Amino acid sequence: MATSVCDVLSDLEELLEGRAIKPSVVDAGCDIAASFIPKTKENVCYIVGAVLFNDKGDVLMIQEAKSSCRGQWYLPMGRLEKGESLLEGAQREVLEESGLHFVPTTLLCVEVGCGSWYRFIYTGKVTGGKLKSTSDGDSESLQAKWMKYEEVVDARKRTITIRAGDIFKLIKLGHRRYSQSDVTKRIPKCVGSCNPHKQLLLRLILLQNDTEGKKKVLVNSKEGDHFPLGVIGIPDFSLDVALSRILQAAFVRIKQRPQIFGVLAVEYSGKPPRKNDGVCFTILAQSSSQELQLLKDTGFHWLTVPPGDTLDKLKSRLENVLFIPLLQI
């Protein structure tokens, strides 16, 4: 874990690049939440999928084979299997349902549903394989096709039946990234790391401007300086509740909740199965208030981010809103 100011700033640099950092102690939790041990496909559901475009800007779609939605169209996605990483699961689902191999380049978004349901959507580049035709249809899908973007998202031009409308926002996010030729305006690459975790965790990077306009970040010095970490768990499984626990552990009172910008990093291993099926989300948020009063003797304090590359990257991300979207559905 981090043990100095330099280590904390180095950790911030790593997180801004979408990489994992060393685990730290949990600063905010409760007994009932901490007692929950996530187990993939048993008491927690992780969905992985992809939004992929070819050189013409067409989006990859698959035709469902399941009896409940047979013949309808959707993005290639499905449940993560035990022992898989997020990357491995996304690649397997795309291959099984479309016949194509792809290399994930970044997470496109992270979605959080009710209970212990999470969906990780990637984008990337197709590297091979054979597009599944009707003659290749099986229990995974009936076929796969490259479809024109407008004919999928525009109801006036659509000639297919979509399984569910939740994919439209995902396709639009992917198309926005695909269409952005200026790479400096794209969300920096983040594919998720294989750091093992035994719990569902939320790491908070909370920023604040001081009276001189300098950027400060909330740090806890308990057992070495680190960014605040909270537990996500029963009975609510809510990222909002986990965030509230961290804020309540740090401040006397909160008049206005911080603005959440999005996800900086995701850490999940899944190996060995049933042992490390937890996930850690690192989110970036900013407080608009300069009057937050820290609780005494809790280890929380503000650290000024000094001038340099890390501060420049942080400001650029904020100014251009370059974060992996965190969608709560």
> How many domains is the chain built from?
2
| 249: in domain | yes
Q: Both 155 and 211 in a single domain? A: no
Torsion-angle region of 115 (φ positive above 0: left; ψ -120 to 50: alpha; else: beta)? left
Structural domain range at position 102: 45-185
Last residue of a domain, one of 137, 164, 185: 185
Residue 28 sits in the same domain as residue 70: no
* pLDDT tens-digit readout, 201-236: 999 999 999 888 899 999 999 888 999 999 998 888
Of the candidates 88, 86, 90, which has an alpha carbon nearest to the alpha carbon of residue 78?
A: 90
CB environment 7-18: b (16+ within 10 A), e (fewer)? bbbebbbbbbeb
Is 206 contained in some domain? yes
The dihedral through the CA atoms of 10, 11, 15, 21 has a sign that is positive
| 53 and 176 fall within a common domain | yes
Residue-wise pLDDT tens digits, 64-76:
999 999 999 999 9
Encoded tokens for 305: 């981010």
257 in the same domain as 176? no
Q: Where does the pLDDT of residue 1 fall: very low under 50, low under 70, confident under 90, or very high at 90 and above?
A: very low
Instruction: Look up the pTM and report it.
Output: 0.95
Phi and psi dihedrals of 297, rounded to 5?
60, 30
Whether 133 and 20 share a structural domain: no
